[in-house]
Amino acid sequence: MERLLRFLTSMMALATTSCANPPAAVPPPPPADYSGYVNPKYIVIGVFYAPPGTQSNLVYTGDIVAGSNSTLVSSFTGAVVPSVSLSSGTGIPGLLNGAASPSVSKNYSQSSASNFISINQTASLPVVIQGFIDPVNGVDHNEDLIYVWLNPVALFTVSTASDGTKQIVSNGYGFDIADQTVANDMDVLQIPLGCLNGYFAANVPSLEAQCENLATTYARTWAPNNLDGTGPGLTAADLANIAAADPFSNASYVPGIAPGIYTTPDGRFTECDNQSGCGQGVDFIPLNIFECGLIYTPPSVSSQNYSATETFAVQSQVLNSAFWDTFELSLQGKSQMTWTYGTNPGVNNAQGPIVTANILGPPPGYSGPGSFFILQDNYWGTYTVYP
């Protein structure tokens, strides 16, 4: 009997508890946002291809589309929710120890779409890419110029939701004013592929001095050591990564164009086929001159098949911040970030032909290819004359 009463009493107590109104919900505190930045060693922002012939050139005029389009998504663990929100608009600000300065790049701007950030050149002065003759291949890709940004600052806002999910918002880029190689602007070094792959050192000793001179710039002596303790200069691994931005650094690379399809299977190049004249083949023979205008046209299919993983520096005031505590835990590699480059949406493509190809034939005696066609690099918004 006593056991029965104890059972009934406990059941009533349980029923009373179950039917009682739940306590009023207390909203969790909003996740705290922490802003901060890191200092990557470099970002590739373009590859400009040398046309065939010493008297030839490609002229990229003002407001050209050339630039990069990359995402940092793969830098973070799968548990992190990455997104992009440019905090300073389309300008690329100068930063000193993370603090904003009045300087804004006069030559580049940034924009975002999905998780990608485009950095595109807005220079009003034309960029002229001079041609070189290769007696065997016509085009000498060792003379291609890879544009490497040496003082980027990557801006982020991090937060941790109540469920523990970490959110990373990429706020775009600034440039580190501590680098005064280019006063108060982005320090973009143009490195010939031949300096990166050792071709000049092995075959053109007269150009080796040029490569050594460039090396003093990408030594980045003004920058702090990286998080992993390595020095600030670009290493051999960095240079190899940078060289890979130019697909022709792989000697066996062939941008195959299938009949009836204008974009290469890897999505990297699109054959020019618009009526501005670039669809015509280029006869590369003595005395002949070819000129045409080029308009960047984004391909219908996007791709992302070039990436660069590198270490980065973190300034002391950042290391000791709440930002870093969250950011560090979000990284896939504790002292590395990965830039994945993809198809450039072409922010400036509505302005008509803004790149001019001037292809002057070789001297008599040339025995290389006599026919070329123009390919648009969908990643950098530049043009190569193939083969």
Partner 1 sequence: MIKRLPYLFLLTLVWLMCPLLASAQFNIDFGYVAPGTGVQKCQSLQLNESVAYPYFFSGSTSFNYFSVQWPTSLPAGPTAETTVCASFFAVPTESGGQGGGLSAAYESATDAMTSINVNFSAIIGTAPTPFLGAVNPKYIVVGVEYAPPGADSSVSYTQDTSFGNNSTSSSSFTTAYTATQTLSGKAGLFGWLSGKATTTQSETYQQETSSSTTIAVTQTISNKNSLNGALDPVNGVNHNYDLIYVWLNPVATYTLTTNVSGAPTSVTFSGFGYDLTDPTQPNDLDVEAIPLGCINGYFTATGNTAWETTCSTTIASRYARTWALTNTDGTGPGLNATDLANIADADPFNTPGYVPTLPIGSYTTTDGRFMECDNPECSLGINFIPGSSDTYSQGYSTTTTITNSYTTTTSYSIAQTLTSQAFWGSFTLALENQYKVTWTYGTSTQVTETSGQVAGFTIVGPPAGYSGPGTFTILQDNYWGTFAFYSY
Q: Which residues contact 73 (CB under 8 A, 6 or more apart)?
A: 82, 115, 340
Please count the residues of this chain forming the interface with partner 1, following the rule CB under 8 A: 37
d(CA 199, CA 132): 15
Q: Give me the least distance between CB of 367 and partner 1, in Å please.
A: 4
User: Do 41 and 53 contact (CB within 8 A), yes or no?
Assistant: no
- Tokens (6 digits) for 106: 């006069």
Residues 350-369 that bind partner 1 (CB under 8 A): 362-369
Among 212, 228, 283, 325, binds partner 1 (CB under 8 A): 283
Decide: is 137 part of the binding site for partner 1 (CB under 8 A): no
- Residue type at position 84: V
d(CA 369, CA 352): 30
Q: Can you give the three-state secondary structure of 152-201, one letter per residue? A: EEEEEEEEECCCCCEEEEEEEEEEECCCCCCCCCCCEEEEEHHHHCCHHH
Q: Give me the least distance between CB of 285 and partner 1, in Å please.
A: 6
Of 150, 312, 155, the residue nearest 222 (C-alpha): 150
Among 273, 305, 319, 350, binds partner 1 (CB under 8 A): 273
Q: Give me the least distance between CB of 253 and partner 1, in Å please.
A: 16
* Interface stretch with partner 1, choices 92-100, 103-111, 276-284, 316-324 (CB under 8 A): 276-284
Closer by beta carbon to partner 1, 213 or else 288? 288
* Interface stretch with partner 1, choices 17-25, 236-244, 258-266, 322-330 (CB under 8 A): 258-266
Written as one string, the DSSP assignment of 137-158 is: TB--GGG-EEEEESSEEEEEEE
Decide: is 257 part of the binding site for partner 1 (CB under 8 A): yes
Query: Do β-strands 166-176 and 80-84 pair in parallel, antiparallel, or remain unpaired?
Result: parallel
Decide: is 262 part of the binding site for partner 1 (CB under 8 A): yes
* Interface stretch with partner 1, choices 107-115, 174-182, 226-234, 287-295 (CB under 8 A): 287-295
Binding site for partner 1 (CB under 8 A): 257, 259-262, 271, 273-281, 283-293, 362-371, 373
